[in-house]
Amino acid sequence: MLFRTVCCLLSVSLFVATGCADNAGTAAKPPATPTSGTVAKETSGEDSKIEAAINELSEEDRELAKAQKFCAVAATGRLGSMGKPYKVMVEGKPVFLCCEGCESEALKNPEETLAKVEQLKAASAK
């Protein structure tokens, strides 16, 4: 009886393991909508994802994105959390956004956007 149970567990875990490998694309996806309030807390998995996305940038851009750390429009949007940070030039200055969707907002108020970037850089330099 006991042996049978163990056997069952083994085959189940084997099945799960193969199932995971087969569906790696879908199974690895984190929940699409993070609940508000948990955004500030990143797991190490989130960090490595962000790191990888930022590493897609050129070396120069990478340093800027790391210094800015957060989207200049969506303050809670960690650069890299939505893939490669989106770079836009605002009055000749490079500004990083979490996604392309923030571009129009960033260009609408260039002064505000640049001020926000300075704020973000100052905050992350601490």
117 binds Zn ion (CB under 5 A): no
Does the footprint of Zn ion cover residue 106 (CB under 5 A)?
A: no
99 binds Zn ion (CB under 5 A): yes
**Is 88 an interacting residue with respect to Zn ion (CB under 5 A)?**
no
Closer residue to Zn ion, CB minimum distance, 77 or 80: 77
Residue 32: φ, ψ to 5°: -65, -35
90 contributes a contact to Zn ion by CB under 5 A: no
According to DSSP, residue 41 is labeled: -
Q: Assess 102 for contact with Zn ion (CB under 5 A).
A: yes
Six-digit token string for 60: 């120069």
Interface segment toward Zn ion; rule CB under 5 A; list 18-26, 32-40, 56-64, 102-110: 102-110
CB burial readout 67-84, b (16+ within 10 A) else e: ebbbbbbbeebbbbbbeb
Q: Would you say 26 or 56 has its CB closer to Zn ion?
A: 56
Alpha helix stretches (DSSP H) within the chain: 2-22, 24-27, 44-54, 59-68, 103-108, 110-125
Q: Can residue 107 be called a binding residue for Zn ion (CB under 5 A)?
A: no
Q: Which residues make up the interface to Zn ion (CB under 5 A)? A: 74, 77, 98-99, 102
